[in-house]
């Protein structure tokens, strides 16, 4: 498992684990991001990350993103 | 009888556009009781039926994180509206339905509006409406609000749904949890606890860990804690999840099934990179993002001033002509001289000096609503995130700061979207350091007199100084009061959209009318007050040293001596500038007995370039205007309000003294 911010731009990854507080993971779930989802990194060059899941574009602060562990999705 | 309905849905689902189409300009903006969160209400009259519509803040779910969301949730839970119209982005159906099924679980009557059907078509998605209707057991209407499509059908269905209220038996099967839900329902049916919520909903909310409701239930049934614990243990044992996660996942599984059944995507059409992503490739690019952002800001301010100023000039001459005319009229008709003076020197000149800014303000709000509606403002927050991090805040706080350049009041109100208390308070405290448009006339007046060649540089230096100070103050306060607790940043970027003319004009209208109202009330009263103090005691020279205002000014003037402007007129101007910063220019006009054009020659007798700059620094920083102070008070509490007032006064005084004293050495 790799923390999300270490993934380079353009790669798709599967969310393995969301750690760091229930509030945080519940918030993400409310917005439609949960364990098992495949997300794509759109921008990872200016601190916070921009990820996409289907039509959703989500900005995650770098600290927040370090609480999300992923593995590379098989294309 | 007037029906009451609410509009609910995710942020960026086009809810406000639907609201505008239903109510037009027939809306009323107030506040939710106890907060400054904007409450938008409107009236729809359709087929002789009056319907009151309430536009709720956008929510992703019924769990509340920010103040905005708490208001929407409380309204949906506790106020019995006759119907809730859920506006959803149909191109994101699965996720948007999440809050819809939560509402259905609540047992509230829901009408589903599948909005953005044009995007659905473009993405080659097919939605089986009939099937969806059946599964959810509610009426569904398809709309494209940005093109006003489907609104008539929506109105018909609203009316139809209101006339035949049917109870819904919508249920999600929570599998292993059902037995616990039943047990709690059984327990709750023993006593009425005064909540008008169906028992099953209550049980679900209790299990889900809704604190408000849990506490209310526990007052009557202390054993509920044990009930919940048992459910928790069982779910953890069988599924390895906590209760909330388990319930959310059950809902998503349910939604997944619905979307599999009712939605088909034509996979044969290859997905092209969508327009938003392409645009983002440029606009939030690592190298281009910030320069482009600065360019847009430059463009915005150019627009505000190059188009606004000529119109402002017209308004200005209209009011000075009017004042002149009224004075003549009063003289010719032998009115007592004070009547003419009050009406023309006081009321017309005073209110005129404020209304002059109306064109600038309307243009600024136009620019801001274009930035908002197009989806760019959220990108700006993303671009500036790194910078904001240096302040101990994150990108979302940047939006209120940007709005502060227009006016600090909407800037402060915009902090309501921030989830953490620390972020809200810090952002509110530094907001007055953003040079609002009311301070600009003072900068322009002084810089044109004392620095005609470097006017642009001088004005820019003040804006820049404000930003630098905001950084330092934020860092200091963060260190002093909050010890750097960090809240995770999660923010959705809406897709780019072309703003509709209708939404923009309605937004300009609703915000500018507040400004005009202010001119008619607060400014009116303060102007009459200044006039009165300048004219009393009877027989004194108007606005002379012996008038009440002159005496008052002489009392506080010595404080400003070390800053180079220790004469009473400056003290009076600063004092009344607290009412509204626009008043500073007008006050100098009245006090020096000169029109604003003649003011130039008088000012050089009192100020040197150095003391003029020190004065401008004071104007930038010292005490926020009354409207801002009361916004801070409503959003925070007395303690933070006093801090905001005192730090700005002390900082402003220190810096202007510092600049004047150091400058005097050379």
**pLDDT per residue over B259-304, tens digit each?**
888 988 776 655 556 778 888 888 888 888 889 988 888 788 777 7
Q: Report CB contact under 8 Å: B488, A60.
A: yes
> Given an 8 Å threshold on Cβ–Cβ distance, is B385 in contact with A57?
no
Please give the pLDDT value at position B170: 82
The whole-chain average pLDDT of chain B stands at 83
CA distance B526 to chain A (A): 46
pLDDT for residue B627 is more than 90: no
Give Cα separations from B61 to A68, B166, B196, B369, B490 (angstroms).
21, 24, 20, 26, 15
Q: Nearest CA to B18 among B148, B162, B141, B110?
A: B148
Give helix then strand counts, H and E, for chain A. Answer: 2, 6
**Which of chain A's residues have a Cβ under 8 Å away from the Cβ of B89?**
55
Measured between beta carbons, the chain B residues lying within 8 angstroms of A26 are 63, 244-245, 248
Query: Mean pLDDT across the stretch B536-542?
Result: 73
Whether the Cβ atoms of residue B628 and residue B408 lie closer than 8 Å to each other:
yes
Q: How far is CA A54 from CA A58, B239, B278, B322, in A?
A: 11, 28, 15, 61
Residue B222's SS3 state is coil
Looking at beta carbons, which residues of chain B come within 8 Å of A12?
Answer: none
SS3 state of residue B42: strand
- B318-361 tens-digit pLDDT: 888 888 888 888 888 888 877 877 787 777 877 776 677 788 77
Question: Full-prediction pTM beyond 0.80?
Answer: no
Cβ neighbours of B287 (radius 10 Å):
9
CB A58 to CB B491 under 8 A? Answer: yes
Angle formed at CA B228 by CA B224 and CA B234, multiple of 5 degrees: 150
Cβ count near B557 (within 10 Å) = 18
For residue A34, the chain B residues in CB contact (below 8 A) are 248-249, 252
CA atoms within 13 A on the CB side of B26: 13
CB contact under 8 A, A50 and B493: yes
Short-list B460, B314, B482, CA closest to B392 = B482
Domains and CATH numbers, chain A: 2-72 (2.30.30.90)
What does the alpha-carbon distance between residue B277 and residue B268 come to, in Å, rounded to a whole number? 21
Report pLDDT for B190: 85
Which of the residue ranges A20-24, B81-85, B183-187, B613-617 has the most confident prediction, judged by mean pLDDT?
Answer: B613-617
* Structure token pair of residue A3: 């923390």
Chain B hits for A54, Cβ within 8 Å:
92
Report which of B294, B97, B486 is spatially closest to residue A21, judged by C-alpha positions: B486
Q: Is there a contact between A25 and B61 if contact means CB atoms under 8 Å apart?
A: no
**Beta-carbon separation of A43 and B386 below 8 A:** no
Distance CA B626, CA B347 (A): 19
Question: What residues of A are in the B interface, CB distance below 8 Å?
Answer: 20, 22-32, 34, 42-43, 45-48, 50, 52, 54-61, 63-64, 67
Q: Select from A8, A19, A30, A62 the residue whose CB has the most chain B CBs within 10 Å, as the one to mutate to test that interface.
A: A30
Closest residue in B to A45 (Cα) is B286
Whether residue A25 and residue B492 make contact (CB cut-off 8 A), yes or no, is no
């Amino acid at each position: 498992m790799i923390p999300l911010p270490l993934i380079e731009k353009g790669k798709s990854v599967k969310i393995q684990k969301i750690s760091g507080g229930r509030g945080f993971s519940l918030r993400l779930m409310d917005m439609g991001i949960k364990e098992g989802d495949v997300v794509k990194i759109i921008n990872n060059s200016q601190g916070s990350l921009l990820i996409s899941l289907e039509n959703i574009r989500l900005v995650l602060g770098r600290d927040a993103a370090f609480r999300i562990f992923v593995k590379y999705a098989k294309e | 009888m007037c029906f009451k309905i609410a509009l609910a849905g995710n942020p960026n689902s086009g809810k406000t556009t639907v609201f505008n189409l239903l109510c037009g300009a027939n809306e009323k903006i107030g506040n939710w009781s106890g907060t400054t969160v904007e409450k938008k209400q409107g009236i729809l009259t359709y087929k002789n039926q009056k319907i009151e519509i309430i536009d709720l803040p956008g929510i992703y779910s019924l769990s509340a994180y920010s103040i905005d969301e708490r208001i929407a949730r409380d309204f949906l839970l506790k106020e019995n509206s006759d119907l809730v119209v859920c506006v959803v982005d149909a191109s994101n159906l699965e996720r948007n339905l999440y809050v819809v099924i939560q509402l259905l679980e609540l047992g509230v009557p829901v009408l589903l509006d599948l909005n953005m059907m044009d995007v659905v078509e473009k993405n080659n998605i097919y939605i089986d409406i009939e099937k969806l209707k059946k599964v959810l057991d509610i009426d569904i209407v398809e709309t494209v609000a940005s093109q006003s499509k489907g609104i008539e059908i929506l109105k018909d269905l609203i009316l139809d749904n209101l006339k035949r209220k049917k109870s819904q038996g919508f249920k999600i099967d929570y599998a292993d949890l059902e037995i616990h839900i039943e047990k709690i329902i059984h327990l709750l049916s023993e006593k009425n606890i005064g909540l008008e919520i169906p028992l099953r909903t209550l049980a679900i909310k209790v299990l889900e860990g809704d604190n408000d409701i849990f506490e209310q239930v526990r007052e009557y049934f202390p054993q509920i804690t044990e009930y919940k614990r048992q459910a928790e243990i069982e779910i953890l044992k069988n599924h390895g999840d906590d209760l909330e996660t388990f319930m959310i996942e059950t809902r998503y599984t349910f939604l997944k099934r619905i979307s599999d059944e009712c939605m088909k995507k034509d996979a044969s059409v290859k997905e092209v990179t969508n327009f938003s992503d392409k645009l983002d490739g440029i606009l939030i690019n690592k190298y281009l993002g910030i320069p482009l952002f600065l360019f847009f800001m430059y463009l915005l301010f150019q627009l505000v001033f190059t188009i606004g100023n000529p119109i402002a000039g017209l308004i200005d001459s209209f009011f000075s002509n009017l004042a002149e005319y009224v004075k003549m009229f009063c003289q010719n008709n032998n009115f007592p001289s004070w009547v003419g003076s009050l009406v023309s020197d006081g009321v017309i000149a005073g209110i005129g000096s404020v209304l002059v800014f109306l064109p600038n303000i309307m243009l600024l709000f136009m620019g801001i609503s274009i930035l908002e509606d197009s989806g760019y403002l959220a990108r700006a927050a993303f671009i500036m995130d790194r910078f904001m991090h240096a302040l101990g805040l994150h990108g979302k706080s940047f939006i209120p700061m940007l709005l502060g350049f227009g006016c600090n009041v909407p800037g402060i109100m915009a902090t309501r979207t921030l989830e953490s208390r620390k972020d809200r308070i810090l952002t509110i405290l530094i907001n007055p350091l953003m040079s609002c448009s009311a301070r600009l006339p003072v900068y322009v007046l002084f810089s044109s007199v004392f620095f005609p060649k470097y006017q642009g540089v001088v004005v820019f230096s003040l804006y820049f100084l404000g930003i630098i100070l905001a950084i330092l103050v934020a860092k200091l306060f963060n260190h002093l009061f909050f010890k750097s607790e960090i809240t995770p940043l999660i923010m959705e970027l809406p897709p780019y959209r072309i703003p509709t003319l209708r939404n923009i004009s309605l937004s300009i209208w609703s915000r500018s009318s507040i400004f005009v109202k202010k001119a008619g009330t607060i400014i009116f009263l303060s102007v009459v007050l200044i006039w009165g103090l300048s004219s009393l005691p009877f027989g004194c020279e108007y606005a002379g040293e012996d008038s009440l205002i002159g005496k008052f000014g002489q009392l506080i003037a010595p404080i400003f001596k070390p800053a180079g402007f220790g004469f009473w007129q400056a003290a009076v101007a600063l004092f009344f500038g607290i009412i509204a910063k626009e008043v500073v220019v007008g006050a100098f006009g009245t006090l020096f007995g000169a029109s604003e054009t003649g003011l130039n020659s008088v000012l050089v007798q009192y100020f040197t370039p150095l003391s003029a700059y020190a004065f401008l620094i004071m104007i930038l920083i010292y005490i926020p205007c009354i409207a801002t102070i009361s916004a801070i008070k409503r959003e925070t509490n007395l303690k933070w309000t006093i801090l905001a007032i005192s730090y700005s006064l002390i900082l402003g005084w220190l810096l202007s003294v510092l600049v004047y004293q150091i400058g005097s050495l050379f």
